[in-house]
A and B are shown apart, each in its own frame.
Chain A
Amino acid sequence: MSVVVKPPIQPSYSIEKKLSHQIALLVTITLAVIGVLIYCAAHMLMERKQSTEMQKKISTIESIIKEAVAEGGFAQLAKTAEMMAPRRPGTRLDVSKADGTLIYRDPQTASFTLSKHTRSERFSVDLTRYQIGVLNGTFTIDVEDDEHLMDDFFWALISTPILGGALVWVLTAWRVRRELRPLHALANQTKRISPQHLDARLALPVLSEELAPWVNQFNALMDRLQNAIEQLEAFNADVAHELRTPLAALMGNTEVALARERPVEELRETMIVSLEQVRDLSSMVNDMLFLSGADRGALARRGEPTRICHIAKQVVEFHEFALEDAGLTAEVHGTAVASVDAPLLQRALSNLIGNATRFGERGTAVRVLIEEATPSEIQLIVENRGEAIDAATLPRLFDRFFRVDCARCDSESHHGLGLAIVSAIARMHGGKPLASSENGVTRIGLTLQVAA
């Protein structure tokens, strides 16, 4: 099988660039909005200040106008206004009668010229007491200085978001790059993991909250993969080993038989032995195919709901003679009903009872216990009395090619796949294998999920 090298996935964006762009943009917008608000507020304050000052001046002018008119009529008014004009630079005053006739206007000389930025306010002075009626006036002040100030302020406010955004952009990029540096370390570490170095794990001197789940999940995944690959390797080695022995015998037998002339009877005997070995091999291959099918997720084909004890009794009946020969009796307890794959369950139970027959103590009973552990789960246990299996061995019972050393077992006819098949059948029913051994009672079995 060739290894397909896939081209690396091209990134569609960079977190560093994306974050720095977005944050810079946000900062710019925020600063711009704040700037606009500040500018408006300043502008309002400025206007309020100007208008307060004008009001003050206008009221002074009004009282001066009243005094001057009281003293000497319009002539006095014009005189006084003209006299006072130099004392209020940057302003201009017009006074006219109600009918529009001009009474006084500041001279248009250089010192009175105003810039383009002015602000005018109209006012009227009630002189009905002096039989003159109402005088209208316009007071104008030059606000160029204020405008300049506001302009400067405007530019300062404009440049703040631009400069601030740029600064934030650079700083964010720098910070993000720094904070993401562990990712490069992780990538490099991941690169170093290979089938030859499966025990390598990701590690960082300081782990952030965000990276911790990722790193931990990756390491957990590696644990599972390592486990699976090691099991697979061990299994491959086991298969090769298990096949090598009978193959060697087969090859040797045949070669020796053919090496010289032999009577037909002898050749026949050799062929019979070969046939027996080939059948063993074939059944082992079939068992391994079954296991690999289960590994690849084959599921049980569940039939109509049946009483599990019927299946169990059938299998016990099948083993009746072998049990009797071993000096054992058999009992079936429990009445659970479930829809299961009957042939598979027969096979599992047959393997379990066969096992119990080999390990059971003469004169005792092998018991098949069927229990509804939960409404959705049935437990099937085959129990025998006999030498206990030590706790360290229990979990390995369901491993492929694992055999418990025992004097009575002829390892020839058992290739150590029986309980692995039980475990596979459990998994095909959504269950798991079970094993316990204490006080001389060994209980091996499986759980089955009752189909939903």
Chain B
Amino acid sequence: MRMLVVEDEKRLSDYLVKGLTEHGHVVDVAPDGIEGKRLAVYGEYDAVLLDVMLPGVDGFGVLKALRAAGEPQKSTPVLMLTARDKLDDRVRGLEEGADDYLVKPFAFTELLARVNAITRRSSSNQNGAQATTLTLADLEVDLVARRATRAKQRLDLTAKEFALLVLLLRRRGQILSRTTIAEQVWDMHFDSETNIVEVAVRRLRTKLDDPFDHKLLHTERGMGYVLEDRGS
């Protein structure tokens, strides 16, 4: 995907470029609001990462210009990066048409997850009808019957364990942070640096992976969890 990073702090934008490029994205950087506005309005991007505090024009100004431009209106997904933990900034950003926000300091996994979420949201499930069965290696999950099997063996999961498995399976190969998992599975909207998610993942693992030699659920220490078939 083509992405625009509007960020004046060089160290931060450098690492964003590096991280996003390594994840297969093409990234442009605008070091100030004026350049950011120009690129956002006239360029074609799949997503814009927009800092709020910028020299020239601030993030809200860029956002406004972007949303006002074009016919039909540009709906490029925008992720706001706010330095201050100010609720007003977040609310204002969302009201003025940002798709999501992240408060600095944020984890890169978190950023990636949000970017994926907003770009997916904007392409509005172009895959058409959702599959009712998800598979990964010998894991099969039937969303309608709410049944999970591995190597044809039924996994006895609680409702939340099932929800956790579905989330990981839908986003297979993506590292999901504890915060994302808490938000998606339990609807907990705060940065939960508790070990609660860890406990849940551990439980899921005892049912999903422990009886089998081929492990699917992996812990990325310091970042989160990922479900993928890494071969044997």
Contact = CB atoms under 8 A, between A and B. Distances in A.
A322 B196 contact: yes
Interface string B73-117: 000000000000111000000000000000101010000000000
A21 B218 CA distance: 90
A273 B85 CA distance: 27
B109 to A, nearest CB: 10
A319 B186 CA distance: 10
Question: Interface size class for chain B?
Answer: 20 to 34
Chain A interface, >50% SS class: helix
B185 to A, nearest CB: 8
B189 interface: yes
Contacts of B196: 318-319, 321-322, 350, 354
Contact of A325 (B85, B86, B182, B199): B199
Interface stretch (A70-78, A154-162, A276-284): A276-284
Nearest to B177: A279
A346 interface: yes
Interface residues of A, number: 32
A70 to B, nearest CB: 121
Contacts of B221: 272, 275-276
A301 to B, nearest CB: 7
B190 A350 contact: yes
A222 to B, nearest CB: 32
Contacts of A317: 160, 186
A315 B203 CA distance: 18
A445 to B, nearest CB: 18
Interface stretch (A113-121, A247-255, A286-294, A435-443): A286-294
A297 to B, nearest CB: 12
A286 B190 contact: no
Interface string B193-204: 111100110010
A279 B195 CA distance: 13
Contacts of A374: none
A282 B195 CA distance: 16
A343 interface: yes
A289 B182 CA distance: 22
Interface in B154-192: 160, 182, 186-192
Given A276-B221, A314-B186, A318-B186, A286 B194 contact: no
Contact of B195 (A275, A314, A322): A322
A350 B195 contact: no
B160 A314 contact: no
B223 interface: yes
Contacts, number: 68
B222 interface: yes
Interface in A308-330: 314-315, 317-322, 325
A350 B193 CA distance: 11
**Most chain B beta-carbon contacts within 10 A, residue among A285, A321, A342, A350:** A321
Given A279-B107, A319-B196, A321-B203, A347 B182 contact: no
A298 interface: yes
A413 interface: yes
A347 B199 CA distance: 18
Contact of B199 (A273, A289, A321): A321
A272 B203 CA distance: 23
B85 A413 contact: no
B6 to A, nearest CB: 23
A315 B200 CA distance: 14
Contacts of A342: 189
B160 A343 contact: no
Contact of A275 (B187, B189, B200, B222): B222
Contact of B105 (A282, A319, A346): A282
A289 B85 contact: yes
B195 A286 contact: no
A392 to B, nearest CB: 28
Given A301-B87, A322-B196, A347 B103 contact: no
Interface string A323-365: 0010000000000000000111011001000100000000000
A286 B223 contact: no
A286 B103 contact: yes
A422 to B, nearest CB: 12
9 contacts: A283-B191, A285-B105, A290-B85, A314-B187, A318-B182, A322-B196, A325-B199, A344-B190, A413-B195
Given A318-B188, A322-B196, 20 more contacts: A272-B221, A275-B221, A279-B107, A280-B193, A289-B85, A298-B87, A314-B187, A317-B160, A320-B160, A321-B160, A321-B196, A321-B200, A321-B203, A322-B195, A325-B199, A343-B190, A346-B188, A346-B190, A350-B192, A354-B196
Interface of B: 85-87, 103, 105, 107, 160, 182, 186-196, 199-200, 203, 221-223
Sort A-B residue pairs by CB-CB distance and give the 7 closest, nearest first.
Answer: A275-B222, A343-B189, A347-B190, A283-B193, A318-B186, A276-B222, A321-B199
